[in-house]
A and B are shown apart, each in its own frame.
Chain A
Amino acid sequence: MTLIWGGLSLGAIYAIVAIGYNIVFISSKTFNFAHAQLTMVGAFVAYTGLVKWHLPTVLVLVIASAVVAIIAAIEERIAIRPVGDMHNILVTTLGASILLDGAAQLTWGSQPLTVPFFAGDSAITLFGGRAYPVELFLIAIAVLLVVGLGIYSRRSLTGLALLGMAEDREAALLRGVNVRRLAFMAFVAAGALAGFVGLFVGSKTFAVSTLGAALALKGFVVLAIGGFGSMPGTLVGGTLVGLAEAYASRYLGGEYANLAVFLILITILMVRPAGLFVRTKERVV
């Protein structure tokens, strides 16, 4: 059971990163390759707030969300908005991720930093397995985010407008949706989310300048497994990737962990090229 808790919590981290990718993808059909780095910055801000400034956790969560939301807004203005072509945006957001990696290393150094967790840093026994409280929180956050965003997208006007944009951007524009503004707000919201979860992610992984790079690829794999734009898909993808990594490392050896993950990815993409939860649509050409 310890292995399962470990795999699920790792999968939850990947799923949370993939949710951030999805928010941007749904609103603007683009990928923000720097999203994992935004989560990393969130972890560093949480470290600074908790360890250096001795602030209460709630305030740190607010500050981290605000700081990373501002960074995301700047990124949108510099790396997304001036670039028209979607393919070029892949390059500019990749550039932004490299910049954030470098800036984090210059600001906080390259050694791992402990992010204390408010619910304690001692492992507990649950259903026969051992887990840290933060691991259970991560699993809960991933599930709550998917459920919450699912409800929000269907019950709120903004959520419906976002779904409309994802379906047909031009039609949404004709129906009076401020597409540009909404895409910008979605980008900033994804940044705020990355800042918020930074404390939880950093408590499990440490705040370290290599964190963004470690999360980016697996987050993308989770997205591809679940299907681009599908929120429930991120949960299923995260669970599959996290458990595959844990079980492959335990019974085959650490060198087979990535191999197992990519084997699952290839198999799923061969059977369902658009991912598990997205149907392939015909389009008029």
Chain B
Amino acid sequence: MKTRLFKVVGGLAALAMVAAGCASEDASGSDSEYHVLVLGGISAEGVLADNASTSVLSAKAGVDLVNKNGGIDGKKVTIKVVDDQADPTTAVTKLREAIAKEKPDLVLNSGPSTVADATLPILKQNNILSFNIGPTATSADPKAFPLNFDLSASAQNQLDAFPPYFAEKGYKKVGILHGSSSYGEVYGAAAEKTFTAAGVDVVANEEYDVAALDMTAQLEAIRSKSPDALVLDAYGAPLGYVLKGVEKLGWDIPIIGNTSVAATGLISTPPPSGVLGTPSVKNLVMQVYKSTAHDDAATDVNDLVTRMKAIDPIKATLIVAYNNDALALVQAAAEKAKSTDPKKLAEALIDSSVLEGATTAIIDTYRFTADSHAANPSADEFAFIAPGPLKDGQFQ
């Protein structure tokens, strides 16, 4: 009887020890370290992989900077990269695994909106502070996700920078050509609304099928309305078809491309592979973040490029290097909050003094508010530049 009692007590003690061990594993990392988890589709295909690689690289460069400046609230920052293959199902599985093993203090979501949609509820459930590149309908809504902040600019932010450029160039009538993708359709409608509200006459708003091989017909339709300039949303081969169409028509019109145009390799590659420096692009300017156009005077950006290059080559444009800024923002927020508690950090991140003081590089000043956790960069953050060769993630 006594032996059986000892066995039962011994078994319960062993169970308690196992449970204690599990509990300690579930908790956040040790007090002296601040754990950052980066989700990225490193093994995705083509451009997605290059984008993910650059996002991850910027996170590593951000960690280096923050640690060099004393860490986050005095804690050394450690980084763990998880390859989610840009797939929501994989991202959810790997995020849950990572949380069960060692709950991160901060998650940087470098993937598309679909991954953000799938992972944000898990992050909210676990009270984890997060930054997100691919915005969803609710990702910037503090009521839905109080601990998440969106890093990228919305289509509206980008469009708000156009009217001042039109005024500078004296364009009073513009035509719009956009793709049939969901982004393209939203962009086309928002562009017309924004330009009209700014007093610019939108004489044509044409759509093209993103799988089409020739856009000459749409260009002819726009040309018949005699606009002063053409606003263009295009990425990949469709951009090439539009440029070919304009050249074929012999149409001498200024073309203002959006950030999708800037992301297409064709225009930053010289012939014979690309069209850089050819008559096709002589009238083209494209919208970029100021940080994506090389400027010797931009010390924060140049420092970021140096830090990134010291780790690995930069494969995509700096437009996806937001993760560096996320770490700088958290460091500034922790200094203000004097804590790494996610709720206190989130409160500090809507303080304008914190946002202005953070040493960010991609966007100069993020404008998170109590009502919106969207980056909401001002029109001054953008520039319109002629195509140039891409070097170290920047147009030269």
| A, B co-complexed | yes
A-B residue pair count with CB separations less than 8 angstroms = 119
Determine which of B240, B248, B272 lies in contact with A51 in the assembled complex, contact meaning CB atoms within 8 Å: B272
A114 CB–B CB distance under 8 Å: yes
Total residues of chain A contacting the partner, CB 8 A: 43
A164 CB–B CB distance under 8 Å: no
A105 CB–B CB distance under 8 Å: yes
Specify the chain A residue showing the minimal Cβ separation from B266.
Answer: A112
Segment at the interface with B among A25-33, A200-208, A221-229: A200-208
Cβ contacts under 8 Å, A131 to chain B = 248
Determine which of B239, B250, B275 lies in contact with A123 in the assembled complex, contact meaning CB atoms within 8 Å: B250
Specify the chain A residue showing the minimal Cβ separation from B179.
Answer: A254
In the complex, how many angstroms separate the beta carbon of A241 from the nearest chain B beta carbon? Answer: 12
SS of B interface (majority): mixed
In the complex, how many angstroms separate the beta carbon of B233 from the nearest chain A beta carbon? Answer: 12
Q: Known interface pairs A112-B237, A132-B244, A254-B208. Does A246 touch B272 (Cβ–Cβ under 8 Å)?
A: no
Total residues of chain B contacting the partner, CB 8 A: 37
In the complex, how many angstroms separate the beta carbon of B288 from the nearest chain A beta carbon? Answer: 17
B351 CB–A CB distance under 8 Å: no
B180 & A255 in contact (Cβ 8 Å cutoff): yes
B220 CB–A CB distance under 8 Å: yes
In the complex, how many angstroms separate the beta carbon of A259 from the nearest chain B beta carbon? Answer: 10
B272 & A50 in contact (Cβ 8 Å cutoff): yes
Contact residues, B56-87 vs A (CB, 8 A): none
Cβ contacts under 8 Å, B221 to chain A = 249-251, 253
B216 & A6 in contact (Cβ 8 Å cutoff): yes
Cβ contacts under 8 Å, A251 to chain B = 221
Cβ contacts under 8 Å, A105 to chain B = 45-46
In the complex, how many angstroms separate the beta carbon of A105 from the nearest chain B beta carbon? Answer: 6
Determine which of A6, A13, A258 lies in contact with B217 in the assembled complex, contact meaning CB atoms within 8 Å: A6
Cβ contacts under 8 Å, B244 to chain A = 132
Contact residues, B242-272 vs A (CB, 8 A): 244, 247-250, 264-266, 269, 271-272
In the complex, how many angstroms separate the beta carbon of B319 from the nearest chain A beta carbon? Answer: 16
B237 & A3 in contact (Cβ 8 Å cutoff): no
B213 & A10 in contact (Cβ 8 Å cutoff): yes
- Can you name 17 extra interface pairs (CB under 8 A) apart from A47-B273, A111-B265, A249-B217? A2-B216, A6-B217, A10-B214, A51-B273, A106-B45, A110-B236, A112-B265, A123-B247, A123-B250, A205-B213, A205-B241, A206-B240, A210-B211, A213-B211, A247-B217, A254-B212, A254-B218
